[in-house]
Structure formats: C-alpha cells, structure tokens
Amino acid sequence: MKLAGKVALVTGSGGGIGKASAIALAQEGADVILNDIRFPEGGSDTLGHILALGRRAVEIVCDVSDQAAVESMFTEAQGQMGLVNLFVNSAIYSDREYFYKADMKGFHKTIDVSMWGAFYCLRAFSNRLLAVGQPGSAVLISSPHAHVATPSCMAYNMAKAALDQMGRTAAMELIGHGIRVNMVYPGWTDTPGERKFFTDEVLDKAGRALPMGRLMQPEELARGVVFLCDPASDSITGSTLSIDGGTQLPWWSKRGTGAF
C-alpha cells in the first residue's frame, strides 16, 4: 500500500493503459478519479473494480481538449476526493493519414487531445499543488512516436514529441516545489484503441513479429506508472521509462541474420 492516502486522477481511464493504471494505483492504496470522454450509464467496470478494492473512486466525464472543462474537472475532483497529488495522462486521440491529404478536423483533434489536453491537465494539477505547497507526481504516457517518424501519423508524432518536451520542461520548472514529472514510453500495446486501425488477426501476427514475440499488455505499463508515482522514486523526475518489449533496440537490422 505504498500509495495509501494519495489521490490520483487518471485521464483516458475508460480503457487500455489508463484503465490499467487507475486499477494499479488503487491496488497500492490510492483513491482514484477516473476521467474519460464518456462512461457507460451506471458506471464502468473500472469504477466497480476500484470500489471493490475498498478505495474511493468517482468518474468525471470531461473532454481534456477543453481547458475550461479541465479546470472544472480538477475543482470537482478536489471537492469530492481532496487534493489530487498523483496525475496520469493517458487520454489520446489519433487518426492515420498522410499529412498532405489528412482530414484537418482529425489532425487538429489529435493535437488538441494528445498535446493540449495533457498541457491543460498538467497545468491544472500543478497549480493546485503549488497553491498549498504540496508535492506530487505526474506521469505522462508518451510514445516512441516522439522520435520515430512513423508515416501516416504526423499529428500523433508531433503531439508526442511536444509531450516529451512539455514533461521535461515542467520537471525543470517544478523541481524546487517537490512536484515530479516523468514520461512512459509504451511499446506496441494491446489496447481497444488499436482496434480502430487493426483487426485482432493483424495484431496477433504483428505481435509475433516483435522482439519478444507479443504485444505489450496495459498492466505491464501500469506497473511502471506505479513505480514512478511511488514516493520511494522521489529522485526520479524529467525521465522517460521505456516499457516496450525491446522494440526500440536495433533489432530490425538483425532480422534474418540468425542473430535472433
């Protein structure tokens, strides 16, 4: 129960890495505010899972690309659960098209949710801690897309590159206040969002071609989130933790050589 007494807010917690992170934080004793653009009527299974652990939890519907809505969400969260001292940014949106023929509505939405949404939340989170002089920890779910020029993903690549600089700069500006900011790089992870682009058959085949022979699971990323939120990790800030199954190693150049 290394996070007992902490209050966490996790964006994008309706599924995937956000959902797994919210549950993992609760398992370590944190109370959790769940955020997503929508939740099913009557509450999500994430909410039920956390309540069954004996933790407090609430769901707040909020479009993180709306700054006013984000400020209201943090105000509501603090009113219901107390000061939020752990923040995990997992909300994203992504379309896939070559930039020169992209639907600009989707292009802008990708930037608005994946970059501006993270900024609005990190700003609201930090200001509330600064106002009362309390420490805290933020974890931004980034991506190797921040430095890999993946075609048909320009808006997402741009957003994640900005997210990395956002996190490092915030870590510099907040280090004297006891507020830590770190990033996590997932590998190709088996999440509901991948079904927007790929079938289960394609994902299974692609996973078998990866260095470890499988896709990452959201729970593996969640363990890294807990590690970074742990007060015992208080010397870690402005860092990036890769939990990617070795996909950023130069393994592509070795394929077919018998080295693997």
CATH classification of the domain holding 48:
3.40.50.720
pLDDT score for 251: 64
Q: Which two tokens stand for residue 156?
A: 């997402």
Rounded to whole angstroms, the Cα distance separating 71 from 151 reads: 34
Q: Does 255 map to a domain?
A: no
Alpha carbon distance 140, 234 (integer Å): 16
Could you say which DSSP state residue 259 is in?
Answer: -
Q: Would you place residue 152 in the very low, low, confident or very high pLDDT band (cuts 50, 70, 90)?
A: confident
Confidence class of residue 256 from pLDDT cuts 50, 70 and 90?
Answer: very low
| Average pLDDT value for residue range 160-186 | 97
Residue 252 binned pLDDT confidence (cut-offs 50, 70, 90)? low
CA distance 120 to 116: 6
Q: Does residue 252 lie in a domain region?
A: no
- Of 93, 100, 120, 156, catalytic: 156
Decide if pLDDT at 241 tops 60.
yes
Residues 6+ apart with CB under 8 A from 235: none
pLDDT at 118 over 60: yes
Compute the half-sphere exposure of residue 196: CA atoms within 13 Å on the CB side of its CA.
10
Whether residue 132 lies inside any domain: the answer is yes
In-domain check, residue 260? no
**Residue 247 binned pLDDT confidence (cut-offs 50, 70, 90):** confident
Assigned domain for 77 exists: yes
Looking at residue 91, its pLDDT comes to 94
- The residue-averaged pLDDT of 242-248 equals 82
Q: What's the pLDDT score for residue 212?
A: 74
Check residues 5 and 214 and name the one with the higher pLDDT: 5
Mean pLDDT on 77-105 = 94
Instruction: Report the pLDDT value the prediction gives residue 258, as an integer from 0 to 100.
Output: 42
Residue 257 included in any domain = no
| Domain tally, the chain | 1
pLDDT above 60: residue 121: yes
Which range, of 15-24, 81-90, 184-193, averages the lowest pLDDT? 184-193
* Catalytic (active site) residue 185: no
pLDDT, position 151: 87
Residue 54 exposure: Cα atoms within 13 Å on the Cβ side: 6
pLDDT at residue 41, as a whole number: 83
Average of pLDDT values for 31-39?
A: 95
Burial class (CB in 10 A: 0-12, 13-18, 19+), 211: middle
Range of 12's domain?
7-246
Would you say residue 257 has pLDDT above 50? no
The rounded percent of the chain whose pLDDT value lies above 90 is 69
For residue 108, the surrounding DSSP H or E stretch is helix 104-111
Residue 151 falls within a domain, yes or no?
Answer: yes
Average pLDDT over residues 97-121: 95
Tell whether 251 is covered by a domain: no
Closest CA to 87 of 44, 126, 57: 126
Q: Which of 51-65, 163-177, 191-205 has the lowest mean pLDDT?
A: 191-205
Instruction: Give the separation between CA 44 and CA 38, rounded to whole angstroms.
Output: 10
